[in-house]
Amino acid sequence: MAGFEQAFDDVEQAAEAARKAAVRLASTANALKKAAQAGNVAAIRRGPERLGEAMEEARQEVERAAASWPFSETEEAGYLKDGYAAELQAVSAEKGLSLYERDGQLISPPSILRILPDRRSVMLDRKSRSTIRPSWLAELLLRNKCKSSGFTPAQFLEALYAVYADIIGPSSLMSKQGGGVVPLARIYRLMTALPGIGRNYDRMDFGRDLYILDSKGPHRTRKGAEVSFSSSGGKYRPRDLFYFVDPNGVSMDYYGIRFRENSE
């Protein structure tokens, strides 16, 4: 069985053929109406045969369109679980867009896409979308690369600092050595402690925001505290790390965070 892209294309073409047949049927009925208005008996006598032909054509095209989708509900869910991600990556590659798979999710920086087979939909940057044609999603991901996501790194930095300061305490922050390294897993737990927040802002979302902040800045809070991140170095368990992928497909991991006050 063909993939979703071909299936959606087949349905589109069948629906267009049905639309054109319906237009011809309407045009034929309109011609009969005009013949009656003008009193054209010859045209009226030709009308029923032409109307019947147009109606039969429309009926056939409608039946083809109605039967054009080849997947059953079970097959849809199965394909979304097992074949859809590879097809979406292939279609995206044809458009010059790279999609990287990490932890069962697809990344096209700065976007994160999750496939939801049971819902016949995807979650794109925390927004549910039922429009899952691979070429359509690939175009949307391309547009996302060129527009602002609404994420504000400066606000994110201030939020990280506030949680970090509560953990470290003011005396450690103001010491010459600055605060120590705090595991980001601890920061994330505290930032998502309220019920429901973790479902809407998962570990990959946090990893993306860390990457954007790390790569684009700012690296100092409004009061001048400088942030730095530590990576795994191969020493930590995967559940202690947060990941994202840069535009070249290089995996970036983050383990800890540290702030230093006025460290110029």
The answer, yes or no, to whether residue 263 has pLDDT greater than 60, is no
Q: In this structure, are residues 67 and 107 in contact, taking their beta carbons and an 8 Å threshold? A: no
32 & 59 share domain:
yes
**Of 97, 129, 145, which residue sits at a domain end?**
145
Whole-number Å distance between alpha carbons of 6 and 9: 5
Cα–Cα–Cα angle for 180, 182, 227, rounded to 5 degrees: 70
**Of 66, 89, 118, which residue sits at a domain end?**
66
**Of 92, 127, 145, which residue sits at a domain end?**
145
166 & 194 share domain:
yes
Q: What is the pLDDT of residues 204-224, one digit of tens each?
A: 999 999 999 999 999 999 988
Q: In this structure, are residues 55 and 25 in contact, taking their beta carbons and an 8 Å threshold? A: yes
Residue count of the chain, please give it: 264
Q: In this predicted structure, what is the pLDDT of residue 199?
A: 75
Lowest mean pLDDT: which of 112-116, 188-192, 196-200? 196-200
Q: In this structure, are residues 217 and 228 in contact, taking their beta carbons and an 8 Å threshold? A: no
159 & 235 share domain:
yes
159 & 249 share domain:
yes
- Nearest partner of 207 among 185, 235, 175, judged by Cα: 185
Lowest mean pLDDT: which of 8-12, 62-66, 142-146? 142-146
177 & 245 share domain:
yes
The 10 Å Cβ neighbour count of residue 72 is 9
Q: What is the pLDDT of residues 52-68, one digit of tens each?
A: 999 999 999 999 999 99
198 & 251 share domain:
yes
Residue 54 class from Cβ within 10 Å (0-12 exposed, 13-18 middle, 19+ buried)? buried
Q: In this predicted structure, what is the pLDDT of residue 149?
A: 65
The answer, yes or no, to whether residue 173 has pLDDT greater than 80, is no
256 & 161 share domain:
yes
166 & 139 share domain:
no
Q: 75 falls in which pLDDT band (50, 70, 90)?
A: very high
Parent domain of 140: 73-145
170 & 207 share domain:
yes
Q: 177 falls in which pLDDT band (50, 70, 90)?
A: low
Whole-number Å distance between alpha carbons of 99 and 110: 11
Q: Indicate the number of domains in the chain.
A: 3
Look at residue 37 and give its three-state secondary structure: helix
Indicate the DSSP class of residue 117: G
Render 24-61 in DSSP notation, one character per residue.
HHHHHHHHHHHHHHHT-HHHHHHHHHHHHHHHHHHHHH
